């Protein structure tokens, strides 16, 4: 079980959005590299990064900020946002990413995801972002007709390392993870699932280490960490105690 601290990048800065709205961005740190170092020093073992501008543009926009993060931490980093081609994937993995997250392209071109998994084994995750139970694409700006489980099942057996499932209706507003939908997805596929969107408090940390959530790879936390609603040492101690048990 892993708690992934999140760095969302907008215009080169660490921000958090409310409900995926780029106009509702709070800047938490103008120096992404320093934020990555801080998370490592707090004891986190992974880092989740999203290029928000890139998600809308369909190509990398905050590349310099991501490079600064990679230089600033020894922790493995996963990146999503604007990664749409095999060349994009190859470029980022060669720059030191542990894995890429494919979102929009997973809806638009599932065959590319399957090919990426074959070409870069263990390095490809799929991001499934849902609004009202349907998958959203293009930086959450556009809804598809695909259901979450319907999309996830397309990648069974393909070698996807993880599915990052975000409930957009909860993202950035601290109402708690949508545990029923997240666990339903985890039950429906064999691919490890990472919960995202709305993690609000230590109650969510305790929920993620409950026995029925053991099938999850972990959860992502953003605003709750930046706002001090979750104490990193307390949260990580709880998770480590569960691993030992």
Q: Contact, 180 vs 149, CB < 8 A? A: no
- 3-class DSSP state for residue 191? coil
Cβ atoms of 86 and 115 closer than 8 Å: yes
Q: Are 148 and 185 in contact (CB under 8 A)?
A: yes
Distance CA 239, CA 244 (A): 9
Helix axes 110-119, 86-94, angle to 10 degrees: 40
Using alpha carbons only, give the angle 197, 200, 201 rounded to the nearest 5 degrees: 145
Q: How far apart are CA 16 and CA 225, in angstroms?
A: 11
Q: How far is CA 52 from CA 212, 213, 242, in A?
A: 32, 29, 33
Catalytic residues, by residue number, are 8, 129
Residue 34: burial class (beta carbons within 10 Å; 0-12, 13-18, 19+): middle
Residues 213 and 145: their CA atoms lie apart, in Å, by 28
Q: How far apart are CA 118 and CA 209, in angstroms?
A: 32
Phi, psi of 211 (to 5 degrees): -55, -40
């Amino acid at each position: 079980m892993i708690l992934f601290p999140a760095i969302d990048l907008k215009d080169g800065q660490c921000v958090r959005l409310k409900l995926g709205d780029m106009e509702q961005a709070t800047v938490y740190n103008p120096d992404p590299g320093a934020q990555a170092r801080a998370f490592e020093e707090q004891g986190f073992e992974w880092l989740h990064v999203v290029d928000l501008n890139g998600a809308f543009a369909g190509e990398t926009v905050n590349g310099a900020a991501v490079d600064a993060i990679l230089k600033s931490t020894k922790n493995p980093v996963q990146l999503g946002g604007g990664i749409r081609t095999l060349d994009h994937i190859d470029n980022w993995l060669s720059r030191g990413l542990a894995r890429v997250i494919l979102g929009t392209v997973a809806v638009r071109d599932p065959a590319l995801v399957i090919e990426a998994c074959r070409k870069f084994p263990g390095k490809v995750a799929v991001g499934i972002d849902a609004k009202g139970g349907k998958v959203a694409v293009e930086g959450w700006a556009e809804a598809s007709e695909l259901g979450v489980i319907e999309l996830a099942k397309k990648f069974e057996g393909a070698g996807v390392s993880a599915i990052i499932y975000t409930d957009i209706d909860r993202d950035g507003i601290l109402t708690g993870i949508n545990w029923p939908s997240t666990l339903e997805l985890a039950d429906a596929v064999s691919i490890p699932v990472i919960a995202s969107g709305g993690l609000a408090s230590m109650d969510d940390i305790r929920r993620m280490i409950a026995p029925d959530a053991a099938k999850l790879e972990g959860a992502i936390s953003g605003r709750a960490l930046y706002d001090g609603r979750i104490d990193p040492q307390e949260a990580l101690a709880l998770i480590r105690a569960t691993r030992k048990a």
